[in-house]
Amino acid sequence: MTRAEAVQCDRNDPLAPFRNRFVLPYGVIYLDGNSLGPLPRATAERVAAVVQREWGQSLIRSWNDHGWIDLAARVGEKIGRLIGAEPDCTVVADSTSVNLFKLLSAALALRPGRRVILTEAGNFPTDLYIAQGLAELTGCSVRREADPLTALNDDVAVLLLTHVNYRSGAMHNMASITHRAHDAGALVLWDLSHSVGAVPLSLAEDDVDFAVGCGYKYLNGGPGAPAFLSVAARLLPGLRLPLTGWLGHAEPFAFADDYHPAQGIARAVVGTPPILSLAALEVGVDLMLEAPADALRAKSLQLTGTFMRLVDDLGFRLLTPTDPARRGSQVAIAHPDGYAIMQALIERSVIGDFRAPDVLRFGFAPLFLRYADVWDAAATLREVMQSGAWREDRFQQRQVVT
Amino acid sequence: MTRAEAVQCDRNDPLAPFRNRFVLPYGVIYLDGNSLGPLPRATAERVAAVVQREWGQSLIRSWNDHGWIDLAARVGEKIGRLIGAEPDCTVVADSTSVNLFKLLSAALALRPGRRVILTEAGNFPTDLYIAQGLAELTGCSVRREADPLTALNDDVAVLLLTHVNYRSGAMHNMASITHRAHDAGALVLWDLSHSVGAVPLSLAEDDVDFAVGCGYKYLNGGPGAPAFLSVAARLLPGLRLPLTGWLGHAEPFAFADDYHPAQGIARAVVGTPPILSLAALEVGVDLMLEAPADALRAKSLQLTGTFMRLVDDLGFRLLTPTDPARRGSQVAIAHPDGYAIMQALIERSVIGDFRAPDVLRFGFAPLFLRYADVWDAAATLREVMQSGAWREDRFQQRQVVT
């Protein structure tokens, strides 16, 4: 692909108008929307209204008058549509980590006699850590396997997988794995943090039991946006969650001494949600709902495929599958000096990120990126590699967060 | 006290200048700062800067460049000063409910062989519910007692109490109860949700083991502001928390497969905190740190005492202790038609709240309320009661949230 061809692709791109719905600093090519999505233009106004008009002027009455009390359910329901969940099965609450804890615990309760959480080595750390913490608390055990499907047996209560790997961008086949786990009598919990807003999802169709996901990546919900969780309708009636907070009570405002869970997914709310952050998340979700999922996926695959081809002679080891069916919306390439190379790129306003020990990650969010951005990013990487610019001393010193 | 005397008190009030640091709708007397504190004037600008300048312009780099990665620790440390905790022992994380779960679990781990969480009947529901959820998960048990101190024995791992009761406003003696629990070999977890920012606290001096608290009441951190937790320094080295999220890892950006807790209180962070809500909380906390704690307490006692005296002939049952040493910063009065009476008050721009079945709650936040407000609120309540205005039909229909 030449740059002129890339520009032509942008002219023909049905998603092109979405770019202007975001604040994107001039000259920056932002390939880190898989870590923190950019600011939707409408968010600043919405958050200001929540702060000044709702909180400032209506004060406590906003819980009724401005619908704060329903906000977690409302945004959850919208996310449910994005992920193809059944109605009334998805809610916004807490963080991805906390939601993992709730649903892993719920899964164990639904499979008495089975005491193993089975997961994948190299899964996102918080998934592994939360499973480990739950195991220490309850005496269940965690198995990490390179190929967890080979370890499905009668002890496995729940298979915990991330749909799109945070590091490599490799994507699991959700339907097929879910069915194999079910055949073995296990439940499946999918972490959608790197999928939602980036790849098509059909949880109901795929018969998924449980899912969690992140609000601040491809959903563009803002830094630390609250997370979501989703549960198959068939599992809701008997769902036992360990974090029994007052807002998940059947009658939170009865202030009764005994806990009785709310009907359905509402019981998964624990404490009062952070309304400012939740309101910002809704703007990102609303924007994503406007975009046709098939157009997003088609463009995502073209962006990632183009980038992989444009950089394939630069001496990197490609970690991302070239098979379109097996990748999400990011490209990961490895290099022993990956950290310094990424710093040199960032200095040139091409922003990706680095994951230890040697991975350069580039997220390609189809809602705001242009084909020309992909071409320019690849050209910049070529210049960095060919000039050796990354060898400069100042790129070698690591910061804590990248 | 006459109205003229109240006005004179306001003239002499050293805290009077703080009122102008808040947005308070014209004509409203806001006595619900114990449920949702009002908007500090500086908050709108701060949140807008985080949204537009930090998120919008600096994007992912804000984790370093704008200190997001340290924000939970920084705001926690400031709250630690407000509550008299030791340095490096307090952090902002999750909700009060989730933090209760973490610390109750940690307490049980520190008292092997003891399997009882002892608490008070009528404690705030989420405290009871969370204990109940943990008990169902782990097999420990929960005892609720009218006078829990009489039930301290060798089975009690942790005594869970709320310092100022959410309903009555009655305040426990933190030092004395903590010492009695320690004498019985138990740990103590104090819920400071209705204390912090309202009454003097000295956790370190009182030898408190654990505390949690809320950011959106007297700290004026905004709706659903994140909560905090605090742990005595002596308990930190062996502290085992069940929610082992990636941001509480010793090296979160090493992305290792095994969980190793961070040093100290940093391990109590689980997932990525909601930065917009957390930034708003910091503004409220900063404002509270400017106010001298003794002046706050003196004014609070005068406000609550004055209100109790002004309404004591109106036919209500007083739930709040008249002994200054035994009350927080709110007044609760009961009446069989409490709901309708509160609605009539709210229509007259005196905003308190109602707690089933019959309690009218009035929070007196000394940072922004005037003595004249107390006088006017009492006069309005007198008018409502003497006119029977609350008997009108439209005040009888209950809304879900009040």
3-state helix, strand, coil split of chain B in percent (to 5) is 45, 15, 40
- The whole-chain average pLDDT of chain A stands at 96
Would residue B65 be called left, alpha or beta, if left means φ above 0 and alpha means ψ between -120 and 50 degrees?
Answer: alpha
- Do residues B270 and B309 share a domain? no
Angstroms from B191 CA to nearest CA on chain A:
14
Are residues A366 and A300 in contact, defined by beta-carbon separation less than 8 angstroms? yes
Please state the length of chain B: 402
Subunit contact B55:A61, Cβ cutoff 8 A? no
CATH code where residue A144 lies: 3.40.640.10
B contact test, residue of A94, A276, A342 with most B CBs within 10 A: A276
Answer yes or no: is B360 within a domain. Answer: yes
- Do residues A157 and A281 share a domain? yes
Task: Report the run of H or E that residue B381 belongs to, with start and end.
Answer: helix B371-387
Question: Which 3 state secondary structure label does DSSP give A335?
Answer: coil
- Do residues A285 and A333 share a domain? no
**Residue A356: per-residue pLDDT:** 87
Q: pLDDT confidence of A401, banded at 50, 70, 90?
A: low
- Do residues B216 and B297 share a domain? no
Are residues A342 and A402 in contact, defined by beta-carbon separation less than 8 angstroms? yes
**Residue B401: per-residue pLDDT:** 56
- Single residue among A256, A290, A324 that ends a domain in this structure: A290
In terms of CA atoms, which chain A residue is nearest residue B102?
A: A243
Are residues B166 and B48 in contact, defined by beta-carbon separation less than 8 angstroms? no
Subunit contact B36:A222, Cβ cutoff 8 A? no
pLDDT in tens, A214-263: 999 999 999 999 999 999 999 999 999 999 999 999 999 888 999 999 99
ipTM over 0.85? The verdict is yes
- Do residues B86 and B225 share a domain? yes
Answer yes or no: is A11 within a domain. Answer: yes
Q: Residue-wise over B342-366: b if at least 16 C-beta within 10 A, else e? A: bbbbbebebbbbbbeebbbbbbbbb
- Do residues A143 and A262 share a domain? yes
Are residues B341 and B390 in contact, defined by beta-carbon separation less than 8 angstroms? yes
Answer yes or no: is A401 within a domain. Answer: no
Average pLDDT (A323-328) is 98
Answer yes or no: is B110 within a domain. Answer: yes
CATH code where residue A314 lies: 3.90.1150.10
Catalytic residues of B: 124, 191, 216-217, 361
Subunit contact A276:B276, Cβ cutoff 8 A? yes
Answer yes or no: is A41 within a domain. Answer: no
**Residue B397: per-residue pLDDT:** 75
Non-local (6+) Cβ contacts of A365 within 8 A are: A33, A34, A37, A197, A198, A218, A300, A329
Q: What angle do CA B94, B96, B100 make, to 5 degrees?
A: 100
The answer on pLDDT for A397 being more than 80 is no
- Single residue among B233, B268, B290 that ends a domain in this structure: B290
**Residue B402: per-residue pLDDT:** 45
pLDDT in tens, A269-287: 999 999 999 999 999 999 9
- Do residues B102 and B206 share a domain? yes
C-alpha distances in angstroms, B214 versus A172, A272, A314, B42, B195?
40, 10, 53, 20, 9
Q: pLDDT confidence of A400, banded at 50, 70, 90?
A: low
- Which chain B residues are closer than 8 Å to A126 by Cβ? 245-246, 271
Give the count of domains, chain B.
2
- Measured CA to CA, the distance from residue A82 to residue A203 in angstroms comes to 10
- Do residues B284 and B301 share a domain? no
**Residue B327: per-residue pLDDT:** 97
Q: Which residues pair with B117 in a beta bridge?
A: B142, B158
Answer yes or no: is B400 within a domain. Answer: no
- Measured CA to CA, the distance from residue B309 to residue A4 in angstroms comes to 81
DSSP 8-class letter at A36 = S
Are residues B248 and B241 in contact, defined by beta-carbon separation less than 8 angstroms? yes
**Residue B393: per-residue pLDDT:** 87
pLDDT in tens, A129-139: 999 999 999 99
In terms of CA atoms, which chain A residue is nearest residue B261?
A: A129
- Residue A190 phi, psi (nearest 5): -100, 130
- Single residue among B261, B290, B319 that ends a domain in this structure: B290
| Rounded percentage of chain A residues whose pLDDT exceeds 90 | 95
The answer on pLDDT for A191 being more than 50 is yes
- Do residues B165 and B178 share a domain? yes
Subunit contact A101:B43, Cβ cutoff 8 A? no
What is the pTM (predicted TM-score) of this model?
0.97
- Do residues A281 and A298 share a domain? no
Greater confidence (A7 vs A399) lies with A7
Answer yes or no: is A35 within a domain. Answer: no
pLDDT in tens, A70-111: 999 999 999 999 999 999 999 999 999 999 999 999 999 999
Q: Where in the sequence is the domain holding B372, given as residue range(s)?
A: 3-30+292-395
Are residues A357 and A335 in contact, defined by beta-carbon separation less than 8 angstroms? no
- Which chain B residues are closer than 8 Å to A61 by Cβ? 346, 351
Subunit contact B44:A52, Cβ cutoff 8 A? yes
- Residue A323 phi, psi (nearest 5): -65, 115
- Do residues A309 and A232 share a domain? no
Q: pLDDT confidence of A402, banded at 50, 70, 90?
A: very low
- Measured CA to CA, the distance from residue B278 to residue B63 in angstroms comes to 13
Question: Which 3 state secondary structure label does DSSP give A309?
Answer: helix
Answer yes or no: is B280 within a domain. Answer: yes
In chain B, which residues have pLDDT < 70? 399-402
A contact test, residue of B270, B368, B397 with most A CBs within 10 A: B270
- Do residues A271 and A309 share a domain? no
